[in-house]
Structure 1
């Protein structure tokens, strides 16, 4: 049975680099491809959040303000190197961190409730 050809949004199909886009379809295809990649990376990150919930022995250690600031600082440095605006990077990561902490609390509590 022949494989289905990749659709326009498939990571296998090359997209036009942003600086060469001339049509909105090209822009949207590039964004859609990147969104799929971001989802996969955030899902992988979530796995580490769940590992932290499993490893940490005390619920009080789930939120670590010093670690939050360390992560944001590293992200802003990397964003500067990559040409990502700090006005995008910082609020996106702070939201990601807060949602990750909330998820970690949920997993921490669920694991401890099982006994």
Structure 2
């Protein structure tokens, strides 16, 4: 049976750290799966393909991530760049889903 994952402040070995990172990566993937589920819902709900790309909403999401990162003392600019890529990937995914559900 797998040992319990230790929180960062109580890690004693690199094995502890690596186990925590791996578990966190799996949890992030689960959250991304949920996020992309919302993209599938958006593709189903939006009647107009042009509504998929919303630059105002994109800027809002990235700014929210930047602000949250700043408040947590994380590298805000770099995380905003990651969020920009995440949003672009999400838009591409949503466009694909939108198109695939409306084929003749």
Does residue 111 of structure 1 match 2:92?
A: no
Give the structure with the higher percent helix.
Answer: 2
- Which residue number in structure 2 is paired with residue 97 of structure 1? 87
User: How far does the alpha carbon of each residue in 1:87-112 deviate from its partner, in whole angstroms, 9 at most, with x for none?
Assistant: 33111111110110000000000000
- Which residue number in structure 1 is paired with residue 64 of structure 2? 74
- Runs (4 or more) in structure 1 with deviation over 4 Å come to none
Larger radius of gyration: 1
User: How far does the alpha carbon of each residue in 1:63-86 deviate from its partner, in whole angstroms, 9 at most, with x for none?
Assistant: 111110011111111112222211
How does 1:48-67 map onto structure 2 within 5 Å? 48-67=38-57
In structure 1, the gaps of 5 or more residues are none
What RMSD over aligned residues (CA atoms) do the two structures have, in Å?
A: 1.4
Q: TM-score, normalization: structure 2?
A: 0.90
Q: TM-score, normalization: structure 1?
A: 0.82
In structure 2, the gaps of 5 or more residues are none
Equivalent of residue 16 in structure 1, options 6, 27, 37: 6
Alignment coverage as a number of residue pairs? 104
How does 1:30-49 map onto structure 2 within 5 Å? 30-49=20-39
